[in-house]
Amino acid sequence: MINRDRILSEFVTLVEIDSPSFGEREIADVLRNKLEAIGFEVSEDDAGKQYGGNCGNLYGYLPGELNEEPLLFSSHMDTVAPALGKKAILHSDGRITGAGDTVLGADDVAGLVSILEAIRSLREEGIAHRSIEVLFPIAEEPYAKGSGVFDYTKIKSKEAYVLDLSGRVGRAAYTAPSILSFKAAFQGRAAHAGFAPEEGIHSIAIAARAISKMQLGRVDADTTVNIGNIAGGVATNIIPENCRVEGELRSFQHEKALRYLEEIRELFQKEADLAGAILHWEGTINCKAYCTELDGATAERYRRACTKAGLTAEFVKTFGGSDHNIFATKGIQGLVISNAMNSVHSCEEYTEVEELMKSTEIVRNLMISI
């Protein structure tokens, strides 16, 4: 049924294609040819043009024989850095790693391969399946930019399975957070640090006072807050006029995330006012939290698909975002499912051939589910 050698060959081929965010042209062309060879009607939008990229989102539709609602399957085409010149190395124990100087790219090539092999094997065997939709977005890594501009009037499915979760196959994330980012630029006043320090307004000191009053890390059971970047000043003998602070917060409750963001803005504004500085503030909602019902049809179908594959479904929360954060805002119920990728976003990333096989089997079971 599922062709192990073909999965391995296809994984290696796709991994070794450079596909940075907004530079997915080559892998998109390869994927389009593969989808059309299976029988999909494929189209590409202009998402790349909106961001100065070289490629759009790929969408495909394949009519099925089962008189059931279509299902949407999705994996993103881009790969997080460092990702240029990736190599896939197969080890004797079935593990596949990179060469150590880049990520492997199983995030999210493992998902692409499972979707392709699942439907290909069904077609080759003549097994009736649901109508299948696929969406392979660009630029998922920088906060789901590609799926954020897709035209969802094209989507027929009410349910989606997004292959983009690390960990053992059988896991599925049913809830994910809102992710908000912020940039705070303090504008103080420059002065000579030796001759006239009292004439300056020290922007870095203002930022430090504001950050010292923040609660960072896990601020409650639903929420995390982080400051990730600080930059300011031009020389050691000059009171720094400008300082920029960048951070993010994540929460499983969207309204709570908005409330925390406003509290941070108010804190930064207060410190700027006390020092006589100016605050330039920018807050961005990158994606919105969702929660899929565990007693609904989507989760129950996934349980059955795992059981049929000899696995037990495990439903988890994740603090990571994905394209499904966007899908959920469009009224599409779904799960983000594990797809044989581990230690992602690092040069220690790896997958396992047997896990790729299990992931493909689960996807295949979902495609023929009733």
- The pLDDT value recorded for residue 29 is 98
What residues are annotated to the active site?
Answer: 78, 140
- The pLDDT value recorded for residue 20 is 97
- The pLDDT value recorded for residue 370 is 87
- The end-to-end CA distance of the chain, in Å, is 20
Strand partners, 317: 175
* Whole-number Å distance between alpha carbons of 358 and 356: 5
Give per-10-residue mean pLDDT for the chain (370 aa): 94 97 98 98 97 97 97 98 95 95 97 98 97 98 96 97 97 97 98 96 98 96 97 97 98 97 98 98 96 97 98 96 97 97 96 97 96
- The pLDDT value recorded for residue 126 is 96
Q: Which domains does the chain possess?
A: 4-176+289-367 (3.40.630.10), 178-287 (3.30.70.360)
Q: Tell me which H or E stretch contains 366.
A: helix 353-367
What residue type is assigned to position 28 of the chain? A
Strand partners, 72: 133, 160
- The pLDDT value recorded for residue 243 is 98
- The pLDDT value recorded for residue 157 is 97
Taking a C-beta distance cutoff of 8 angstroms, is the pair 323, 160 a contact? no
Residues 6+ apart with CB under 8 A from 368: 66, 122, 127, 128, 129, 130
DSSP per-residue letters across 209-244: HHHHTS--EEEETTEEEEEEEEEE-S-TTB--SEEE
As a residue count, the chain comes to 370
- The pLDDT value recorded for residue 349 is 97
Q: What is the pTM of this model?
A: 0.93
Per residue in 246-280, pLDDT tens? 999 999 999 999 999 999 999 999 999 999 999 99
Q: How many CB atoms lie within 10 A of CB 39?
A: 14
- The pLDDT value recorded for residue 48 is 95
Taking a C-beta distance cutoff of 8 angstroms, is the pair 97, 343 a contact? no
Cα dihedral sign for 196, 198, 199, 202? positive
What residue type is assigned to position 206 of the chain? I
